[in-house]
Structure 1
Amino acid sequence: MGQTTAAGSGFEIGTTVAADDQAGFEADTYAEIAEITNVGDFGKEYQIIETKALKQRRVRKIKGSYDNGTLELELYLDSDDPGQAAALAALDTDDNYNFKITLNDAPDGAAPTPTTYYFRGLVTAFRTSISDVDSAVTGRCVVAINTEILKVPAATGD
């Protein structure tokens, strides 16, 4: 498929119903978080453990634990948006929520579906930013990914 544009991609928040496979995530109900301008990056990143043996001068590196990331969603605040309201409500709980990211890469054909990422995570911040007279009121919603990330590739239904 090659490159695709970020334009048309979406980010949605689900419920606290535990899901760990495609069927479980797809069974949930999601609300799109509107007015997002930047999702940020996510995916597995390992800690590097350095070892230094006395008989060797070389630093050796091994992999330690990994983290799937923390997303810092940048958005325009919309007090009427159900997705932003759901994220604000999730902020005041200790529960993991289901999240869904869809790309704008659905192929041509019958019943196309875009690449979709599913994961569970915690909403750990929702901050408001009011800067100057020539800017919009914006926000930053932080989502800490707490599970594996399930990637469902784009496909056609035929």
Structure 2
Amino acid sequence: MPEAQTNSGSKLYICMTPKNEDLDEAGFEALTYVLVKKVGSVGERGINTNIVSYDTWDTQVSMKGKGITNAGDPQVELAEDLADPGQIAMRAAGAPNVPDAYAFKVERPNGTLEYLRGLVAGPNSPGGRNEDFILNTFTLALNQVPLIVAAPVTP
């Protein structure tokens, strides 16, 4: 395996059927996904746990503990393609009146998979200048810790 990998060649998929409960690996693998084309970027995701503190009169150092964990709110940036079935599914899931969560799959060229599940908001358009592409940005409000499945090992 190379020392470092890029995102080049990775693919993003969305399951068009709402998934409002946590899924395990088998649950994610059983789903049918649609490829989202022209993905330029998928933002930061993963666990970010709040550190909570409480001060008492009898100590100089705060007591600390772990609070709620956020799985991330990555932004997905796409070159707009109004005819792409994956982008059509993203727009449908992102509509303001849709309260459901959706499952996503990120497929790496080496066979590693990353599964995500959350709400979709958007699209937004960042605008731009004369040589900028027409882009759409969606936010995935993840409500399950991302599940990473390592690529199969070949002897």
Query: TM-score band, normalised by the shorter chain?
Result: 0.7 to 0.9
User: Is residue 22–residue 144 contact of structure 2 (8 Å, CA) maintained in 1?
Assistant: no
1:139 is aligned to 136
The amino acid of 1:147's aligned partner reads Q
Checking the alignment, whether the CA contact within 8 Å between 1:19 and 1:25 is kept in structure 2 is no
RMSD: 1.8
Whether 1:153 and 2:150 are equivalent positions in the alignment is yes
The 2-side partners of 1:30 and 1:63 are apart by 35
1:19/1:98 contact within 8 Å kept: no
CA distance in 1, matches of 2:54, 2:24: 37
Q: TM-score scaled by structure 2? A: 0.87
Q: Give the 3 Å change call, closer, same or farther, for CA 33–77 of structure 1 in structure 2.
A: same
Give structure 1 regions of 4+ aligned residues with deviation exceeding 4 angstroms: none
Q: 1: CA distance between counterparts of 2:32 and 2:133?
A: 30
Contact 2:35 2:86 in 1 (8 A): yes
Please show how residues 1-158 of structure 1 align to structure 2 within 5 Å. 1=1, 2-14=3-15, 15-17=17-19, 20-92=23-95, 93-104=98-109, 106=110, 114-156=111-153
Could you list the per-position Cα deviations for residues 114-155 of structure 1 after superposition, in whole angstroms to 9, with x for gaps in the alignment?
111112211022112322112111111111111232211111
Q: Which runs of 5+ in 1 are unaligned?
A: 107-113
What's the CA shift for 1:19?
A: 6.4
Amino acid at match of 2:5: T
The one-letter code of the counterpart of 1:6 is N
Conserved 8 A contact 2:55-2:61: yes
Amino acid at match of 2:128: S
Q: Which runs of 5+ in 2 are unaligned?
A: none
Number of aligned positions between the proteins: 150
Contact in 1 for aligned 2:12/2:35 (Cα 8 Å): yes
> What TM-score, normalized to structure 1?
0.86
Aligned mates of 1:124, 1:10 — CA distance in 2: 20
User: Aligned with 2:74: secondary structure?
Assistant: strand
Q: For residues 55-91 of structure 1, what are the alpha-carbon distances to aligned partners after superposition, in whole Å with 9 as ceiling and x for unaligned?
A: 2222332111101111101121111211111000011
Structure 1: distance between partners of 2:69 and 2:24: 20
* Paired-residue identity, %: 31
